[in-house]
Amino acid sequence: MATIKDIAKAAKCSISTVSYALNNDNRISDRTANRIKMIAKEMNYFPSAAARNLKRQNTKTILVAISDFGGPVYNELLDGIHHELVNHDYTMIVSTGVSSDKMLKQRSADGAIISDINIEDNFLKKVAVNFEPIIVLDRQLKEDTIFNLTIDNEILMYNLTKDVISHGYKKIAFVHGVKNAYDNESRFLGLKKALNECGKSVFREFTGNFTKESGAEIAKDIIKLDNKPDMIVCSNDEMALGIMEELINNNYKIPGDIGVSGFDDIMLSSYFHPKLSSVRIDHFSWGKRIAKTMVQLLNKEKVKIEKEQGTVIRRESY
Amino acid sequence: MATIKDIAKAAKCSISTVSYALNNDNRISDRTANRIKMIAKEMNYFPSAAARNLKRQNTKTILVAISDFGGPVYNELLDGIHHELVNHDYTMIVSTGVSSDKMLKQRSADGAIISDINIEDNFLKKVAVNFEPIIVLDRQLKEDTIFNLTIDNEILMYNLTKDVISHGYKKIAFVHGVKNAYDNESRFLGLKKALNECGKSVFREFTGNFTKESGAEIAKDIIKLDNKPDMIVCSNDEMALGIMEELINNNYKIPGDIGVSGFDDIMLSSYFHPKLSSVRIDHFSWGKRIAKTMVQLLNKEKVKIEKEQGTVIRRESY
DNA sequence: GTGAAAGCGCTAACAC
DNA sequence: GTGTTAGCGCTTTCAC
């Protein structure tokens, strides 16, 4: 393991000269700088992140904490974040579960982007004392060094519900994802607001956990009902897909017998038959916006915090 | 930002005592140790990863470099790796693209697991000079400190092909993913071996890039053919799904007119109609095995390198 | 059982 | 334009 000392020895100069040369400090002559760079390359030298991080008191790394790598939602989002961070010479690392906790506690990055409802508010607040900035995508958390960059769930679900109503549905049920999760509650709020405005109320509520499997279970309950909803608005796509599959397997026609809608517009949604109606979020550009904000925060620039917008996509399922 | 010095000052003892206490060194009396731990907690102290990494010359972190976060294959694999690493007190971080390159060059982890064909062999070899161990999942790379833990593609595709033949298919075409990629080539080898044994040869070859979209393009070409294959064996599921969708949209019956098979058995495969036949890899347990091997390597224990097995799952598509 | 001090590999202020 | 050196925040050897 070649260190800066070895390069200095090989180049017959001091370690500071090596450091300056490799960091393109312009007080080193081009001749020396190039010579040193050549030697470093030959010796396969790369500065140790550990040493550099300690000295510089930064890592040029941003941590993104997500709840799981399976969620189809994260794909474009992470791509967007990465795309933008790289432009600003930052490295992106992604973690889940206890790995996220450790990374946060130990301040292994210069900033963190959180999209994992399993991480508790109190934990984040404690972390935020030593570690800033933190951007949260999955909750509203008012704290000086925590920034909330969420989706505009309420408005979007409001719009979707209005569209659903305009297509003549009367008995509109809602399928909750995880209760108390920000995304779920704000979507529910939007639904209720739209229904209220039309003098309606929620026909019935069900509670899943954002997974396809929980959707299938709920569908089984619905099948048993005497007075069934004619429309099932779901808090996300995966539950909607689970519900549709189960209903279809039991010979229900969608949207003939019951309409279904989702939220997020994951890829799968447009491959399913019937194609799921949903709310499309451009996760890639949202990701870019998040990363831009992160960089601005790191640079102590002013940022503007705006909720991410989207569009209602009506396909075949209602 | 409280450092160890601040804790020492608050506890009126030396920094070494603090360090010992927090690391549970048994020469510190319980009374002192507990007192120090209390103070550390009150002051919201967590040791700096940067300082600790530099001193200890390790990070207790394993890097997993993947090609993208969208691939449905990675979900279970990463879960498996994480699950096992956490048991051994390691943290898992995941990266893509240039972020992976930087992390590797700077040795920001104690070991790396590579599943990204965009990372070049030569780059890995260079990195491996300073950074070990490296486990590669997506290629065969013979180097002292690089370990190959791949899927047994050849045998598995051989088995699938045999099964296909046994169901009476005669004109068997192959759809390549990225040419020269290990997974692709070894799967192709298995196919050819099975065909040869039955006195057959590949009816026709097509080349995509492992994506659904490339599959759809290939389907368009197939539709134009006068002499069509009766079976299309694909190098992965996503291309198979793309092909099926395009064929179905053009009123072909699957498997009536043409049979299709995939590889990997991603979740989507069993939701599609018709359900895709594929080769199921238990990515979660493969991930655990990979992580176990990584920990053994880190502990300088002996490891045994075995290819990951799987099972042919015949569903509805052939 | 506790403390002093060296040093991990860098960066950067300062001296020349 | 180059070198000397302090120090980032820890761990750990060696004294006591």
The predicted-structure confidence for B159-202, as pLDDT tens digits, reads as follows: 999 999 999 999 999 999 999 999 999 999 999 999 999 999 99
Give first-to-last CA distance, chain A, whole Å. Answer: 63
- Listed by number, the residues of chain B in 89-108 with a beta carbon closer than 8 Å to a beta carbon of chain A are 91-99, 102-103, 105-108
Cα separation, B117 vs B104, in Å, equals: 15
State the nucleotide closest to B50 in CA–C1' terms. D9
- Listed by number, the residues of chain A in 232-271 with a beta carbon closer than 8 Å to a beta carbon of chain B are 241, 245, 268, 271
Least confident range from A73-77, A198-202, B44-48, B279-283: namely A73-77
Residues A141, A124 contacting (CB under 8 angstroms): yes
Mean pLDDT to the nearest integer, A113-142: 95
Cα separation, A108 vs A127, in Å, equals: 12
CA distance B193 to chain A (A): 34
Cα separation, A36 vs A24, in Å, equals: 11
Cα separation, A181 vs B113, in Å, equals: 34
pLDDT given for residue A75 in this prediction: 87
CB contact A305 to B (< 8 Å)? no
Instruction: Give the burial class of A300: count Cβ atoms within 10 A of its Cβ; 0-12 exposed, 13-18 middle, 19 or more buried.
Output: exposed
User: pLDDT tens-digit profile of A34-43?
Assistant: 999 999 999 9
Q: Which residue of B has its CA nearest to A42?
A: B126
pLDDT given for residue B272 in this prediction: 83
pLDDT given for residue B18 in this prediction: 96
CA separation, residue B305 to residues B147, B148, B229 (Å): 8, 7, 38
Q: Characterise A12 by phi-psi region: left (phi > 0), alpha (psi -120 to 50), beta (else).
A: left
Is pLDDT above 80 for A71? Answer: no
CA separation, residue A172 to residues A202, A229, A261 (Å): 6, 6, 11
Do A130 and B47 make contact, defined as CB atoms within 8 angstroms? no
Q: For Cα atoms B59, B64, B66, give the angle at the middle one, nearest 5 degrees.
A: 155
Do B94 and A97 make contact, defined as CB atoms within 8 angstroms? no
State the nucleotide closest to A50 in CA–C1' terms. C9
Q: Is the model's pTM score more than 0.75?
A: yes
pLDDT given for residue A194 in this prediction: 98
Mean pLDDT to the nearest integer, B262-286: 91
Rounded (10°) CA dihedral B304, B103, A129, A68: -60
Mean pLDDT to the nearest integer, B110-122: 96
